[in-house]
Structure 1
Amino acid sequence: MRVALVSLYPDQRRSDGATARARRVAEGLAGRGHDVSFLCAKWWEGPLGSFSQNGVEYHAVTEEASARAFASKLPFALRRVGPDVIHATNSPPSQVAAARTAARVLRVPVVVDWWTVREHDTDRMVQRAAQTADRVIAPSELVKTGVRERGARADDVTVVPGSVDIDLVRSVDVDNRADLVYARRLDERANVETFLLALAELRDREWRAVVVGDGPEREVAMETAAELRIDDRVSFLGSLSPDEFVPILKGAHVFAQTATLEPFARELLWALACGCVGVVEYQAASSAHELVENCDRGARVTSPQELAHEVRAAARHDRASINKAFAGYDHSHVLDTYERVYEDERGGYGFF
C-alpha cells in the first residue's frame, strides 16, 4: 500500500506527542513493506528535495515551516506521490483541507490522526478538519469526545491508542535504582510539583524516586524538591531512551501520572506494561485515567495527599516487572488497527 503521511512538522524538526506518533506509524508501516512517503517541511541539510530514513521517504513540500505555503503546495506534492491513502495530522488544520482537495482528484481517502489543537489553529479550520475527514483516529476517548464536539460524527472517529514495545519490556534487565517514578516532558503542563508534594508527605518512609524528562520547568522542579527537603532522595535523570527508561520502570513499584494535559499518557502505558502500580491524578484535559479504569494495579486521585495515600496502599501489590494485561498495546497490534482503518476507507473508494 502507498501511504502518504502529511505533517508540516516532522518529529525531527519539532518533537511532541503528535509528531512522535506520526513518525512511529510511518516507520512501523515501512517496516511492514508499505511504500511510505512523509510530506513535511524540510528538516535535513543539502539540496535534495527528498530524504530517506528508516525506510520512510521524506519529501520537502516547503523549505520553511509555513502553514500557508505548505497548504498551497501540498496538493501538487500529493499528486506526484500518488498514494492509496492520505494520513494527515490534525494540526495545522489547513493541511487537512489541502489534503482533502488533493484526495478528491486522486479519489483516495483522508485519515486524520487527531492529537490536540494548537494555539494558532482557528476554530473554523479545526471544525472543517474534523468534519471533512473520511476517518478520524483519536488516541483516547477524551480526544474522541473533543473531535465529536468539533463536528465529527461518532461513527467516523476510531480510537487507536498509543503503543509500546512489549518485546523490549520482556527482554531488558531490571534496574532497581528507584521505587517511585515520574516521567514526562517537563513543561508548564507537567505538574510535577504534585508528585513532589506527595513525596514530601512520605518523608517518614523509605523510598527512592526518579523524575525522567527534560524541559523548561526542570530547574523549577529541582528547586521545589530542594525546598521540600527531599532532593537527596529524588534524582532528575533528564530524557532517556526506551532502552534506558524501561529497566528503571521494571525495577520500580509505583508510577505517578499528574500532568494537566495528556491526549495519551504513553509514559504511563510503559510503566503499566512494566508492572508498576499506576497512580493517576485526575485532570480534565488528560486521558491518563482511561488506562487505569479497569486495572487492578492502578488508582485515581485528586490531590497530593491522596496520591501519597495510594503510594502507601501500593504495598498490598507484589512487585512485578511485566503486566501481560497490556500486551495488546504492542506496536504490532496497534499497526494492525491502522492497516484495517486504511483498508476499510479504501474500500469506500472502490478498491476492495
Structure 2
Amino acid sequence: MHVAFVSLYPDQRRSDGATARARRVAEGLAARGHDVSFLCAKWWEGPLDSFTQADVDYVAVTEGTSARAFASKLPFALRRVGPDVIHAANSPPSQVAAARTAARVLRVPVLVEWWAVREGDTDRMIRRAARTADRVLVPSELVKTGVRERGAAGEDVTVVPGSIDVDLVRSADVDNRADLVYARRLDEHANVASFLLALAELRDREWRAVVVGDGPEREAAVETAAELRIDDRVSVLGSLSPEEFVPILKGAHVFAQTATVEPFARELLWALACGCVGVVEYQAASSAHELVENCDRGVRVTTPQELADEVVAAAGHDRASFNGAFAGYDHDHVLETYERVYEDERDAYGLF
C-alpha cells in the first residue's frame, strides 16, 4: 500500500509528540514493506525536491513553513504522488482541508492523526478538520473526547495508542542507579516540581532519583532540587535514547507522572512495561491515568503529598523488570492496527 503522510512540520524540523509519532509510524510502515511518502516543508539541504531517510520518501511541498502556502500547493503534490491513503496531521488544520480536496480527485480516503491543537489553529478550521476526515485517529480517550466535542462523529474516531519496543524491554540489561524516575520533555507542561516536592517529603528515607529529559525548564528543575535540598540524590540526565533509558527503568521501582498536558504518556508506558509501579498525578489535560486504570502496579493521586505516600506504599510491590500486561503496545502490534484501519477505510471508500 502507498501511504502519503501530510505534515507541514516533520519531526526533523520541529520535534514534539505529534511529529515524533508521525515519524515512528511512517518509518514503521516503510519497514513493513509499504511505500511511504511524507509531504512536508523542506528540511534537508541541497536542490533536491525529495529526500529518502529510513526508507521514507520525504517530498518538499514548500521551502518555508507558511501554512497558507503549504495548503495551496498540497493538492498538486498529492496528485503527483498518487497514494492509496492520505494520512494527515491535524495541525495546521488547513492542510486537512487541502488533503480532502486532493482526495476527492484521487478517490482515496483521508485519515487525520489528531494529537493537539497548536497556537494559531482557528476554531472554524479545527472543527472542519474534525468533521471532514473519513477517520480520525487519536492516541487516547482524552483526545477522543476533545475531537468529538469539535464535531467528529464518535463512530469515526479510533483510538490507536502509542507504541514501544517490547523486545528491547525484554532484552535490555538492568541499570540500578535509581529507585525513582521522572521522564518527559521539560517544557512548561512538565510539572517536574510536583515530583520534586514529593521527594522532599521523603528526604528522611533512603532513595535515589533521576529526571530524564531536556527542554527550557531543565535549569528550573535543577534549581528546584537544590532549593529543596535534595539535589545530592536527584540526577537530571537530559534526553536519552530508548537503549539508554530502558535499563534505568528496569532497575527502578517507581515512575512518577505529573505533567499537566499529555495526549499520550509514552514514557509512562515504557516504565510500566519495564515493571515500574506507576504513580500518576491526575491532570485534566493529561491522559496518563488511562494507562494505570485496572493496573495492579499503578495508582492515581492528586497532590504531591499523595504521590509521596504512594511511593512509600510501592514498597509493598516486589521489584520487577518486565510487565507482560503491556506487550500489546509493541510497535508491530500497533502498526497492524494502522494497517487494518487503512484497509477498512480504503474498502469503504470504494463503495461510494
Normalising by structure 1, report the TM-score: 0.99
Give the counterpart letter for 1:30 in structure 2.
Answer: A
CA distance in 1: counterparts of 2:326 and 2:251, whole angstroms: 17
Give the counterpart letter for 1:311 in structure 2.
Answer: V
* 1:284-342 deviation line (CA, Å, top 9, x unaligned): 00000000011000000000000000000000000000000000000000000000000
Stretches of structure 2 that go unaligned for 5 or more consecutive residues are none
CA distance in 2: counterparts of 1:341 and 1:246, whole angstroms: 30
Alignment of 1:45-64 (within 5 A): 45-64=45-64
Instruction: State the 1:349 CA deviation.
Output: 2.1
Residue 7 (1) aligns with residue 7 (2): yes
Give the counterpart letter for 2:307 in structure 1.
Answer: L
2:124 maps to which residue?
124
Percent identity of the aligned residues? 87
* 1:220-268 deviation line (CA, Å, top 9, x unaligned): 1110000000000000000000000000000000000000000000000
Aligned Cα root-mean-square deviation (Å) = 0.8
Give the counterpart letter for 1:280 in structure 2.
Answer: V
* 1:121-141 deviation line (CA, Å, top 9, x unaligned): 000000000000000000000
Count of residues in correspondence between the two structures: 352
Give the counterpart letter for 1:52 in structure 2.
Answer: T
1:348 alignment partner, SS class: helix
Alignment of 1:169-184 (within 5 A): 169-184=169-184
Give the counterpart letter for 1:164 in structure 2.
Answer: I
* 1:140-164 deviation line (CA, Å, top 9, x unaligned): 0000000000000000000000000
Give the counterpart letter for 1:215 in structure 2.
Answer: G
2:140 maps to which residue?
140
CA distance in 1: counterparts of 2:108 and 2:50, whole angstroms: 23
Instruction: State the 1:351 CA deviation.
Output: 7.9
Instruction: State the 1:348 CA deviation.
Output: 1.3
Give the counterpart letter for 2:295 in structure 1.
Answer: C
1:5 alignment partner, SS class: strand
CA distance in 1: counterparts of 2:220 and 2:102, whole angstroms: 47
Give the counterpart letter for 1:302 in structure 2.
Answer: T
* 1:31-83 deviation line (CA, Å, top 9, x unaligned): 01000000000000000000000010000000011100000000000000000
2:104 maps to which residue?
104
Give the counterpart letter for 1:330 in structure 2.
Answer: D
1:221 maps to which residue?
221
Give the counterpart letter for 2:145 in structure 1.
Answer: T
CA distance in 1: counterparts of 2:169 and 2:26, whole angstroms: 22
Instruction: State the 1:100 CA deviation.
Output: 0.3
Instruction: State the 1:350 CA deviation.
Output: 1.9
2:90 maps to which residue?
90
Runs of 4+ in 1 over 3 A off after TM superposition: none
* 1:167-211 deviation line (CA, Å, top 9, x unaligned): 000111000000000000001100000000000000111000000
2:298 maps to which residue?
298
Give the counterpart letter for 2:192 in structure 1.
Answer: V
1:305 alignment partner, SS class: helix
CA distance in 2: counterparts of 1:113 and 1:253, whole angstroms: 34
CA distance in 2: counterparts of 1:211 and 1:65, whole angstroms: 33
Stretches of structure 1 that go unaligned for 5 or more consecutive residues are none
